[in-house]
Structure formats: structure tokens, C-alpha cells
Chain A
Amino acid sequence: MNNVVLLPIIIPLLTGMIMIIFRKNIRFQRAFSIFAILATGAVSVFLMAQIRAKGIQTLQLGGWQAPFGISMVADMFSALLLLTTSVVSFCCLLFAFRSIGKEREASYFYPMVLFLITGVNGSFLTGDLFNLYVCFEVMLISSYVLITLGGTKKQLRESIKYVLTNIVSSFLFLVAIAYLYAMTGTLNLAHLSVRIAEAGQDGLMTTVAILFLIVFSMKAALFLFFWLPGSYSAPPTAIAALFAGLLTKVGIYALFRMFTLVFYHEPQITHLIIGVLGALTMLLGAIGAIAYWDIKKILTYNVMVGVGFIMAGLASFTPVAMTGSIYYLIHDMIIKALIFLIGGTMIHLTGTSKLKEISGLIGTHPYLGWLFFIAALSLSGIPPLSGFLGKVYITQGTFETGYYWLGAIGLITSLMVLFSIMKIFMNGFWGETYLSEEMEKGTTKGLMFPIGLLTVATIVLGVGAEGIIEYVNLATESLMNPKLYIEAVFRGNVTP
């Protein structure tokens, strides 16, 4: 029993609710939301230390033993993602202070962001499939509000697609849960793992696994990404960056959890499908990123490439590839939020997202230009920045398993990503400076700090990999050994 496990869910929930009561007081809301994120971050660091010292931490709500009660489980994988979530949302909030506007602030913007984080953290921590569904819904409903908040024409058009696709996938999620419950009689993840290991993963079970794969692919934008480019380019920058950093990653987390803890018996079927989907996602995403001349479009297609690449690690299913995937997932959350913030700042300055109408920003905004350059190198995996290690490990993992095609596609799409992001750099920042500072549509005042902070994070993640890799290895260990997770949940009790 460890009540700390629950705090990353409780803190944002409570602060969000208090903010609803004090709706009018914007300054209080700003300060309080920052406080909540910092507290959540501190708790996740504390959790990481505890997990490192004492193994996986669990909490049985109300003292009801698993599998009868509700379990909360924090292993190193969850804790790392919790910390990254705090970092990303901290920077997006700072960015929002200067850019989101009075109207949205007065319409429950901050409470909604905190509820979104409640859902994200809840998904990372829950040890029960149905609660995973509930936390997904908490996250999605807040995201529905955030994507429509402001009510511009484009937002409303895109949000209809976004809401519809998510409702369909949530429905399929429930159906898949019902199938699984009918076949195993439990929804506790650890208990499911035990039962499926005992009974064997037969053809029917694998079919249910593929249904789960479809559901989570829709959430993670793995191949089923048709909803993503539109809905991520509609909301304001701070919200889009938050979505790009967090939302699809929760789907990825769920895929990792399900296919390492529960459905890990038939990797030649399920994991191969994940690999094929990942490869297709990488290729299509990279082609999209190259083809478009719109900053928002290029960035959203880059989100997909990242998703596909992380999935290549899961498909290989070796310790090395897993380490790479976890490392790359953390990197991806930070870097996607970062490039969305920078791209959003460029649009904010010039008033257009069409790359051909922007030129020579580096003349007036040298810092922004060089930060973007660092981000671009990190995104495409140039050492010593944070993208590099993940790419090396994942590629090594795919070669170990014999999926040479997967590794090759990963490397080729990396080059395409580099090309697409350099296209923004060369067209947007180089060239003749059209806009003098007086003609610009906005200022970078207050926007540079969160961008700088995330850039520092990606450099630290790359240069300081030596210190972080120990935690990542612990996360890999808990993913590759379902026994550790199961023992932590049942604590020596008899598994019924």
C-alpha cells in the first residue's frame, strides 16, 4: 500500500475543481495550475525514487485486495511518463499564459487542462482495464472541450470529426473489454495476465487482442491516423502542443501495457501486425510531412512518424528495442510539444501558416531560429541530442529480431523527417527578411521561456542519457517481465 501512487491523479483533479469555484479569478487560476503541475512533477520524481528503491508501487483502493478491488500500479515506465507529462504540460501552460487569450481563460481553460492531465495520469497509473477506459474518457472529454473552446469555424468543423472517431473507438474499446471479460472473468490487468498465461492465448483471444490493437491504434494514431492532421491543426498553439505531446502517447502507453503484460504470447502474429502498421504509419507520415507546404500540416504528419517509430520497438519485442522505445517515447513527448510551440510562434508572428509566405525570420528572431534548429536536429536523431539514442536502440532491436525492413524504413523515414523539418527551417528562417518587427502580428514576449525550457529538456535528455538510462532500464525490466508486475499487485496473496 502506498497512497503516493494516487497523488498524480488527485492533485490535478482537486485543483481543477477548486478553480471551477473561483472562475472569475484568472490570476489565481494561473498560479494554482502551475502549482498543481509542479506538485505533480515533484510527486512523480518521489515515486521514481521509491520504485527504484523498493520495486513497483501499488495501491488497492479502500483496502479491497486485487483482483476484487481497484488497483493502482506505478512501475518505472508509468513514473517516467508521469514526469514527462508534468514537464510538457508545465511548458504548454506557460506558453498559454501569453497566447491563449482572455476569453478562453474565462471559459474554464485551466480546469480543463488539469482534467486532461488527470485523465492522462490516471491512464498511466491504473491497473485495471475498465479504469483505463474511464481515464481515457476523462482525458477525451476534456480534449473535446479544449478543441472546441473558442468556437471558431475551423475548430468546430474539425472537432466533429475528432469527437465522432473517438466515440466510435471508445465504443469498440467497450466491446473489446466485454469480450475479454466474458472469456476470462476479470479486468484487473495483472489477473488477466495470469489467466491468459494459464489458459493460453488461443485464436479467439488473439482476435480480441487485435480488436484492442485497433482501438488503441485509433487513439495512438497508429495507421488509423485519418483524424489527426485536421484536429491537431485546429486548436490554438498551446492546446495543439499539449495534444501532440500527450494524447497520442497515452494510446501508445496502452498498447505497450496490453502487448507486454497481457497479450505477449503470440508475438509472431500480434507484434508483427504492430510492426507492419508502424512501418506504414512511418512511410505515410513521412510522405505527408514532405508533401505539404503548411507548417501545421508538416508538424502533425511528423507526430505520426514518431508514433510509427516507437511502435517499431514494440514490434521487435527485445529488451534493447524496448529500452529504445521507452527512451524515444519520452523524447517524442518533449520534442513534439517543442516543435508545435515553435511552429505556433512562427504562425503567431507572421499571421500565416503557409511556408511560402514566410521568410527570413532569423533576421528578427535569431534565438527562435536557433532553438528551432536544435529541435530539428533532435527530432531527426542527430547525436548528442535526445532523439539519437532511441533511434540507435530501436534500430538495433529490429535488426536483432530480423525485421530488417522495419529498421530500414525507420532510418529512411528519419531522413525524410530531417528533410521536412529543414524545409521549414530553410524557408521560414533563411532568406530575405520581409517582415520588420513593427509589421509582425504578435510578439515573442513571454513565449521564448517555455520553448527554451523544452529545448534544455531535450539537450539534457540527450547529453545526460547516462543518468537516465538506469531508470529506463528499470522500466524495460518491468515491461519485459510480467511476473514483476503481477507479484507487485498480488503481494503474495492467492490469485483466484
Chain B
Amino acid sequence: MKKPNDVILHSVTKAAVVIILTFSIDLFFAGHHDPGGGFIGGLGFASALTLLLLAFDIEWVRENIPIDFKVVTASGVLIAVLTGLGSVVFDAPFLSQTFDYFNLPIFGKTELATAVIFDFGVALAVIGTAVTIILSIAEDR
């Protein structure tokens, strides 16, 4: 197959990926009180990776992001379930959550919640699953 010379796509992708990644991280943290959260944040993250896959080829992405995304999925689910199990240690029902306010050096008064860790697990699971699906379809020639 002739290698197409798509300079514009490459340049736009490089800029757009940064924006998409920032936005999906913002979506992830917004999810605690506003629309957003681990699922949609993870999907945004996966869409950035998909854009990279489309603009460059799979080998290039593999070399630069050398992660097995199935492992990402598994660790995501592990983090989510273990966060749920954490409440069992405190003799609360599975999946109970708690939060408190802390004074952190830069952020000032910040709300820290256990639900965010759970959400992080969800995000990882979504990223892993989405990218695994796309990669396995892409490889299937």
C-alpha cells in the first residue's frame, strides 16, 4: 500500500490529542458533582488514542505507548472492586463511600472522596476495553 502523505492530519492530530486528553481529564473530575465521570472521561481518553491510531499507524502507537490494554482493563476493574471492598474493612456495606474536606498546599480547601478512586477504576476499564476492541478490529485484515 502506498504511504499517503497526510501532513495536515498529522499536525492537527498532534494539537487535537492534547486538547481531547485535557478535556477528558476535566470531564473525569467534573463527574463528581456535574455531568461527567469515569465512564465518559474514559471514553474521551480512548477517542484521543483512536485519533492517534487513525492518523499514524498501529505500529507507531504501539512503540510510543507500550501498554497492553487488556491489563489496563483488568487493573481498572480491580481498582474499582477493591475500592468497594475497602468499605467492608470498616464494617460498612460493600460499595459504601465517604468524603471529607482537606486543606492541601496548592489547591486550598479540597473535597477528597473515595468515589473518585472508584471512578478512576471505571475510567481505566473503559479505556482498556475501548482501545482493545478498536485494536483487535484494526488488526483483523
Taking beta carbons and an 8 Å cutoff, which residues of B are in contact with A? Answer: 70-71, 73-75, 77-78, 81-82, 85, 88, 92-97
Contacts and interface: CB of A to CB of B under 8 A. Distances in A.
Given A1-B93, A14-B78, A63-B93, A21 B88 contact: no
Nearest to B97: A62
Contact of A20 (B70, B85, B88, B96): B70
A13 B121 CA distance: 14
Contact of A13 (B71, B81, B95): B81
A207 interface: no
B74 A17 contact: yes
Complex A-B, nearest 6 residue pairs according to Cβ-Cβ distance, in ascending order: A20-B74, A62-B95, A17-B74, A61-B95, A3-B88, A63-B93
A10 interface: yes
Contacts of B74: 17-18, 20-21
User: Which of A18, A20, A23 has the most CB atoms of chain B within a 10 A radius of its CB?
Assistant: A20
Nearest to B70: A20
A342 interface: no
A162 B95 CA distance: 35
B78 A18 contact: yes
A62 B86 CA distance: 12
Nearest to B76: A17
Given A20-B70, A20-B71, A21-B71, A13 B77 contact: yes
Contacts of B92: 63
A63 B96 contact: yes
Interface in A60-79: 60-63
A462 to B, nearest CB: 38
A346 interface: no
Contacts of A10: 81, 85, 94
A10 to B, nearest CB: 6
A59 B78 contact: no
A17 B94 CA distance: 19
Interface in A1-49: 1, 3, 6, 10, 13-14, 17-18, 20-21, 23
A62 B93 contact: yes
Contacts of A18: 74, 78
Nearest to A59: B93
Contacts of A6: 94
Given A3-B88, A10-B81, A14-B81, A21 B94 contact: no
Given A17-B74, A21-B75, A62-B93, 10 more contacts: A3-B88, A3-B93, A6-B94, A10-B81, A10-B85, A13-B77, A14-B78, A17-B78, A18-B78, A59-B93
Nearest to A60: B93
Contact of B96 (A17, A23, A62): A62
A14 B85 CA distance: 11
B37 to A, nearest CB: 16
A21 to B, nearest CB: 5
19 contacts: A1-B93, A3-B93, A10-B81, A10-B94, A13-B77, A14-B78, A17-B81, A18-B78, A20-B70, A20-B71, A20-B74, A21-B71, A23-B70, A59-B94, A61-B94, A62-B94, A62-B97, A63-B92, A63-B93
Contacts of B88: 3
User: Which of A23, A59, A62 has the most CB atoms of chain B within a 10 A radius of its CB?
Assistant: A62
User: Which of A10, A17, A20 has the most CB atoms of chain B within a 10 A radius of its CB?
Assistant: A17
A29 B78 CA distance: 17
A1 B95 CA distance: 13
Nearest to A64: B93
B93 A17 contact: no
A63 B94 CA distance: 8
User: Which of B75, B77, B93 has the most CB atoms of chain A within a 10 A radius of its CB?
Assistant: B93
Contacts of A17: 74-75, 77-78, 81
Contacts of B78: 14, 17-18
Contacts of B73: 20
Contacts of B71: 20-21
Contacts of B77: 13, 17
B81 A61 contact: no
A1 B87 CA distance: 13
A18 B74 CA distance: 7
Contacts of A1: 93
Contacts of B75: 17, 21
